[in-house]
A and B are shown apart, each in its own frame.
Chain A
Amino acid sequence: MGPITLDHYVFLSAALFCLGVAGVLIRRNILVMFMSLEIMLNAVNLLLGSIAAFRGDAAGQVFVFFIMLVAAAEIAVGLAVMVMVYRNTGSIDLKDLSNLKW
């Protein structure tokens, strides 16, 4: 095992991101899909943070901070929507959300 370089973080992030994608694809529960989405966001955050650390550029970490802000806002609204969906359809099953289908 050599020293830990940026490459390690890059591959770790890629793996984590793909795990998130797989999670979105294989689950039908919207809540869990949201969680997978968070994993993807974290993968990106980790990548950005590590690049900033290795390059010595503080702006990258500030961006991570902003991403966190947006993610928090997104989750707040997304979960509110989910509650609405549940109230209206009685479930949060992806299959039930097909009202816009022709």
Chain B
Amino acid sequence: MKNLLVVLIPLLPLLGFAVSGLFGKRLGKSATGLLASGMVLLSFLCAAALAMLHFRTGDSAIVVNLFSWIRMPGLSIPMGLLVDPLSLMMVFVVTGIGFLIHVYSIGYMHDDDGVARFFSYLNLFTFFMLVLVLADNFAVLFIGWEGVGLCSYLLIGFWFKNHAFNGAAVKAFVVNRIGDAGFLLGLFLMAMTFGSLSFAEVFSRAASFGSGAPAITLITLFLFIGASGKSAQIPLYTWLPDAMAGPTPVSALIHAATMVTAGVYLVIRSNALYALAPLTMAIIAAVGLATAIWAGLIALSQRDIKKVLAYSTVSQLGFMFLALGMGAWSTGFFHVFTHAFFKALLFLGAGSVIHALSGEQDIRRMGGLRKALPVTYATMLAGTLAIAGIPPFAGFFSKDEIFAKVFEHAPALWAIALAGAFVTSFYMFRLFFLVFHGEFRGDATAKHHLHESPKVMTAPLVVLALGALGAGFAGLPEIFGAPHWISDFLAPVTGRGESHLSHATEWMLMGASVATGLLALLFAWVRYGVKGRVPAEDASVTGVARWSLGKFFIDELYDRAIVKPLFRFSAWIHDVLDRRGLDGAVGAIAGISPWLGQQVRLLQTGNTAFYLFAMALGVFLILFVATLR
């Protein structure tokens, strides 16, 4: 029964993918959407039933071995699924938020021609994501890892008639491949070192290596390269903002709530390895913090509503990695959990705004939408407060916990992180005030067209807003005396991190972060709410702001330093190695035959008498040789 439920969880979305992919056109738009959403809901219910049946008893993990996938001397990889607290929580996030986004998509994609394709991709993504989180060894995890990358590519390029969107899809895919290459190297090294890819065996064998062993450091570094590709960390973050080319629900589901957190999940899952590699942990913390600040600074001056959110996602992922770098596994996961709610909410809210404005994404042409879109306004406010870390919204609790852990390990980093939080709060409220307050800055037809989104879209917004409000209570700080539910639940996987901070310090930290958030809110309110300032035209931006607007010109740098030289190198290979080298060699070999023929042809004189002589001579020679013997 339990095993069946475990298998059903990923299988139902796969079924949905097959049905909506094959018969979607015949089913019609609404039926396809309902089917796809229903499959994800069923999957969610399966997970819930599993939790009811199993995890009450306190037993911590179920392993289901479907079949033996790869078997060779020294390495055998089963197609195994693992349900433990961590993967169960991830399943809840993926299917729960995934379901809401599916429902939302029914409304959002209603006028699109490719609805069936869209929902089949979404279901396929859900399937791969579930495989990723349910995997019981690194190889199966890699299947899901690559699968979600594929779906990400397909959905970014969903409107494939737009050439720039295709470019964004290819960029996402290629940048992810760089990370995946690292991941693969890590897997190979792991198989070599431990002779297994199964979580349980690898972790138990790793324990005997001791802390700081070079092999483990190398493995964890490679895995982190993979994680930084998928989770958009420096230096591989450039694909995520471009990935906003996809439909907004895709941005919400894949590029905010679930897929991009796969890297975080990978690190949490391998915490037993990372705990043995202090060097890697330091690198993770540094990269995470740098990414958090860097992306926040870029987000400060973006004009595209989705780009702001995209950079905010990159920044929040950086905070998650910062927590992981501190060894605070459950804290990192807590932020994944809350972030999934409020970032999905923000994206869907943004989608609702874009929907109301018939596709307009530039915040300079928005403003004053508060009255036209009351539900969107209220829910977006909840999301913004959550991400800014204002209590009692979810982001406050998780972010505060991260800051507490950081302060405990490295107070200097804490100060920088606090600045990051300030930036986060500022750009989010900048966005919020520019979109919803002040006067509408679009043209008259757009103003006339303004409308609140249909119920099918606002309902998920409301649910997510409740989540953004309430998710934080799953992990109350110790000082409130309530049990930290997330940390307790994950304890079998992550172990229990003890806090050594005094209560006074904790209150101080909490106060500092809340004050920071409020201060940023105030700044943004004065600048954009009261004074009503609007971002300037691109050309007139100068100084530091120009760098922020230009995303620090990292894309241009990559283009110059990597992409263009690679293109030139490929062109060189094409021209020299391929055309002249390979084709030349093949051509030369092919040319030998006609040449030889030309030479041999001369023997054919057409003179029959000569042939007869040759024949007589041949007979003579044969006889002669035969006689000599």
Report if A and B touch in the complex (beta carbons < 8 A).
yes
Residues of A within 8 A of B (CB): 21, 24-25, 28, 94-95, 97-102
* B: number of interface residues (CB 8 Å): 10
Instruction: For A102, give its contact among B601, B608, B609, B616 (CB under 8 Å).
Output: B601
B502: chain A residues within 8 A (beta carbon) = none
Chain B minimum-CB-distance residue to A26: B609
Q: Do the beta carbons of A21 and B616 come within 8 Å of each other?
A: yes
B607, CB-defined interface residue at 8 Å = yes
Q: Do the beta carbons of A100 and B616 come within 8 Å of each other?
A: no
Q: Nearest Cβ distance between residue A36 and chain B, in whole angstroms?
A: 11
B606, CB-defined interface residue at 8 Å = yes
A24: chain B residues within 8 A (beta carbon) = 612, 616
Q: Nearest Cβ distance between residue A61 and chain B, in whole angstroms?
A: 26
Q: Do the beta carbons of B605 and A101 come within 8 Å of each other?
A: yes
What 9 pairs across the A-B complex have the smallest Cβ distances?
Answer: A101-B606, A98-B606, A94-B608, A102-B601, A102-B604, A94-B609, A21-B616, A25-B612, A24-B612
Residues of B within 8 A of A (CB): 601, 604-609, 612-613, 616
Q: Do the beta carbons of A97 and B608 come within 8 Å of each other?
A: yes
Q: Do the beta carbons of A98 and B609 come within 8 Å of each other?
A: no
Q: Nearest Cβ distance between residue A91 and chain B, in whole angstroms?
A: 14
A98 with B608, Cβ < 8 A, contacts A21-B616, A25-B613, A25-B616 known: yes
6 A-B pairs besides A25-B609, A25-B613 with CB distance below 8 A are: A25-B616, A94-B609, A98-B608, A101-B605, A101-B606, A102-B601
Q: How many A-B residue pairs have CB under 8 A?
A: 25
Q: Nearest Cβ distance between residue A13 and chain B, in whole angstroms?
A: 15
A99: chain B residues within 8 A (beta carbon) = 606
SS class of chain B's interface: helix, strand, loop or mixed? helix
B605: chain A residues within 8 A (beta carbon) = 101
What separation, in Å, do the CA atoms of A94 and B606 have in the docked complex?
10
A100: chain B residues within 8 A (beta carbon) = 606
A101: chain B residues within 8 A (beta carbon) = 604-607
Chain B minimum-CB-distance residue to A24: B612
What separation, in Å, do the CA atoms of A94 and B609 have in the docked complex?
7
Q: Do the beta carbons of A98 and B601 come within 8 Å of each other?
A: no
B613: chain A residues within 8 A (beta carbon) = 25
A94: chain B residues within 8 A (beta carbon) = 608-609
B607: chain A residues within 8 A (beta carbon) = 95, 98, 101
A95: chain B residues within 8 A (beta carbon) = 607, 609
Q: Nearest Cβ distance between residue B448 and chain A, in whole angstroms?
A: 85
B604: chain A residues within 8 A (beta carbon) = 101-102
What are 13 of the A-B contact pairs (CB < 8 Å)? A21-B616, A24-B612, A25-B609, A25-B616, A28-B609, A95-B607, A95-B609, A97-B608, A99-B606, A100-B606, A101-B605, A101-B607, A102-B606
A25: chain B residues within 8 A (beta carbon) = 609, 612-613, 616
B601: chain A residues within 8 A (beta carbon) = 102
Q: Nearest Cβ distance between residue B520 and chain A, in whole angstroms?
A: 91
Chain B minimum-CB-distance residue to A21: B616
What separation, in Å, do the CA atoms of A25 and B609 have in the docked complex?
7
What separation, in Å, do the CA atoms of A101 and B604 have in the docked complex?
7
What separation, in Å, do the CA atoms of A21 and B613 have in the docked complex?
10
What separation, in Å, do the CA atoms of A101 and B601 have in the docked complex?
9
Chain A minimum-CB-distance residue to B609: A94
B609: chain A residues within 8 A (beta carbon) = 25, 28, 94-95
Q: Nearest Cβ distance between residue B237 and chain A, in whole angstroms?
A: 69
What separation, in Å, do the CA atoms of A95 and B607 have in the docked complex?
7
What separation, in Å, do the CA atoms of A95 and B421 have in the docked complex?
103
What separation, in Å, do the CA atoms of A94 and B385 have in the docked complex?
107
Chain A minimum-CB-distance residue to B606: A101
B616: chain A residues within 8 A (beta carbon) = 21, 24-25
Q: Nearest Cβ distance between residue B622 and chain A, in whole angstroms?
A: 14
Q: Nearest Cβ distance between residue A39 and chain B, in whole angstroms?
A: 15
B606: chain A residues within 8 A (beta carbon) = 98-102
What separation, in Å, do the CA atoms of A24 and B607 have in the docked complex?
14
Chain B minimum-CB-distance residue to A97: B608
Q: Nearest Cβ distance between residue B603 and chain A, in whole angstroms?
A: 10
Q: Nearest Cβ distance between residue B623 and chain A, in whole angstroms?
A: 11
Q: Nearest Cβ distance between residue A31 and chain B, in whole angstroms?
A: 14
Chain B minimum-CB-distance residue to A33: B612
Chain B minimum-CB-distance residue to A100: B606
What separation, in Å, do the CA atoms of A28 and B613 have in the docked complex?
13
A98: chain B residues within 8 A (beta carbon) = 606-608
What separation, in Å, do the CA atoms of A21 and B616 have in the docked complex?
8
What separation, in Å, do the CA atoms of A42 and B621 have in the docked complex?
23
Q: Nearest Cβ distance between residue A12 and chain B, in whole angstroms?
A: 18
Interface centre among A28, A99, A101 (most CB of B within 10 A): A101
What separation, in Å, do the CA atoms of A99 and B607 have in the docked complex?
10
What separation, in Å, do the CA atoms of A99 and B613 have in the docked complex?
19
Q: Nearest Cβ distance between residue B371 and chain A, in whole angstroms?
A: 93
Chain B minimum-CB-distance residue to A18: B616
Q: Nearest Cβ distance between residue B620 and chain A, in whole angstroms?
A: 9
What separation, in Å, do the CA atoms of A100 and B607 have in the docked complex?
10
Q: Nearest Cβ distance between residue B212 and chain A, in whole angstroms?
A: 80
What separation, in Å, do the CA atoms of A21 and B607 have in the docked complex?
17
A28: chain B residues within 8 A (beta carbon) = 609
